[in-house]
Amino acid sequence: MYVIVNYHLQVVGAVDNGGDYKDIKLYNIDDDFTPILVDKKKFFFNGDECFFSSYNRKILLANHQEAFPIEVNFCGENEFYLSINGGFVSSNTTSLFVQAFCGEWERFYLIDEENLRIIRSAFKNGFYIQGNNTYVSPEKLEYDHKCIKFDNYVFDLKSIISAKKVGMNKLMLPREGLGLFIMELFNPLAYYSCFGSGEIIACMEESIYSLFTIGNFVGDILVITDQEKITFSEKLQPYLNRIHLQQANAYDFFDFTISRYMVYDLPIMDKYSPIMYIDCDIIINEDVNKIFHSAMGTDKVLFSEEFKVDTASPWFGGVHWYEAGQDYKLMDYGINSGIFLFKSIETAKELLFTVVQSMLHSQKVKLSREKGILETLDQPNLNYVLMAHFPNHFDVEILTQHVSHAANENFANIPLVGFAHFNGGLGNFGSRVDLMRKYVEYLLSNPKGDIEVGEKNYLSIS
């Protein structure tokens, strides 16, 4: 699909007034709007075919052909005219369309919908320049209704129309004269797997709330769940437009744990970069945007180390290591599966797929010979897959310094490094959600400078 723009890079969209007709307006490319799309034959708005018509010097949109239709004349690969009784359709300064004879606005142009998505994201969250891995913040982008520019780069209508998407989240634009410019999307996503109801949803809500309020997260949230609908608490209401649900079938704990890896075929994943998985029992206690940016400089998947290990621990792939004949090196650290980060779904797809296949195979082995449930859990399979098949495709140095595992009720001792993982005991709290909620309240009621924290320690287990 394509979006419609005029000479000044303004996008044709519609205002849904709840009736049969919709008012046509022009929007800046960095505005939040729903554009009218065209496949070079038919026009669509919100997925439904639509038709242009004229009334009282205004252009309207309807779901049926009107008595006063607007004629559409495609005149080139990415160009077309709209006309009424031989007069060109253009626009006045109020952004409402009228019949006029205004040369530079008579012709409309088509920009690939996906290209516009990347450009709009650049105005929202910035982007990276491929080649030197330089981040350009949205504040540096200028848009003067004829071109987009920053520093010494200028991209006009011709350049944007000619842009080509590279992979899922890169846009290649021809520069004036020789040379190409490639912008790489920075549109972060954090996703959760949350199955069942009650306490697990409440824990996730605390995590999401801390991600927005304390972590200053600029991206979107995806919740993979077995629920048709989740009624979020009042404090998350300001963020609902950034929270998306993906329903999945789940019948037991195995389905719940495998779901965090079965995301490589979800279409929504293609629109984001970077992407982080977060367990529902993790609270964010520091600004995390720098952490998300760290994933843009590597194609490796980032994991966090939970324990130092000196022997093959069953919790970290030890049984798999023994049964596979020890034909690969035992890692001296145990990776926690509760949080991981990757640049794009393209860079992580093969690894995630292999973990899924390892878990499914382990499940078959367990059922055939009554093997213990531990070997079917996701964390042992993840550690095995990393050791045996992807020893050079992951990193533990970057993320480990930002995660504190086994966080407990001693709030003052939890390092303010980014993520506090409450995967330990409950202490004096009646439930995990009570513990997490109190910690969020503690963080919000104590300015960062007033919180004294201890140093992070690592345990050695066998």
Q: Which of 279, 318, 308, 303 lies closest to 423, judged by CA?
A: 279
Q: Which domain holds residue 160?
A: 115-184
Q: For residue 452, tell me if it sits in a domain.
A: no
Are 126 and 45 in the same domain?
no
What tens-digit pLDDT sequence spans the chain (462 residues)?
A: 999 998 888 899 988 777 778 888 888 888 888 899 999 999 999 999 999 888 777 788 888 887 778 888 888 889 888 888 777 887 766 666 666 655 666 789 999 999 999 999 999 999 999 877 899 999 999 988 789 998 888 999 999 999 999 988 999 999 877 889 999 999 999 999 998 878 899 999 999 999 999 999 999 999 999 998 999 999 999 999 999 999 998 778 888 899 999 999 999 999 999 999 999 999 999 999 999 999 999 999 999 999 888 777 777 888 887 787 777 888 888 999 999 999 999 999 999 999 999 999 988 887 776 656 567 789 999 999 999 999 999 999 999 999 999 999 999 999 999 999 998 776 666 789 999 999 999 999 986 645 544 443 333 232
Whether 209 is in a domain gets the answer: yes
178 conformational bin, left if phi > 0, alpha if psi -120 to 50, beta if neither: beta
Q: 135 and 234 in one domain?
A: no
246 and 104 assigned to the same domain: no
- Which of the listed residues 184, 209, 234 is the one where a domain comes to its end? 184
With beta carbons less than 8 A apart as the criterion, state whether 378 and 359 touch.
yes
Q: Rounded to 5 degrees, what angle do the CA atoms 385, 390, 396 make?
A: 90
Q: Which of 76, 77, 171, 78 is closest to 116 using CA atoms?
A: 171
Residue 412 counted as domain residue:
yes
Q: Is residue 362 part of a domain?
A: yes
Total structural domains in the chain? 3
Burial class (CB in 10 A: 0-12, 13-18, 19+), 400: buried
Tell me: do 250 and 270 sit in the same domain.
yes
CATH number at residue 43: 2.80.10.50
Asked whether residue 272 falls in the same domain as residue 321, the answer is yes
User: Mutual orientation of helices 432-445 and 199-213 as an angle, nearest 10°?
Assistant: 20
Considering the domain architecture, whether residues 231 and 130 belong to the same structural domain is answered as: no
Residues 250 and 180 in one domain: no
Residue 456 domain flag:
no
Domain membership flag for residue 461: no
Cα 63 to chain centroid, rounded = 32
Give the predicted TM-score (pTM) of the model.
0.88
Domain boundary among 95, 111, 127: 111
In this structure, the answer to whether residues 239 and 356 fall within a common structural domain is yes
Choosing from 111, 140, 162, the residue where a domain stops is 111
Looking up residue 274, the CATH number of its domain turns out to be 3.90.550.10
- Check whether residue 270 and residue 416 sit in a common domain: yes
**Whether residues 274 and 293 fall in one domain:** yes
**285's tokens:** 């206690």
Q: What is the tally of helices (H) and strands (E) in the chain?
A: 10, 31
Residues 358 and 247 in one domain: yes
Same domain as 317, residue 198: yes
Contact in structure between 219 and 187 (CB atoms under 8 Å) = yes
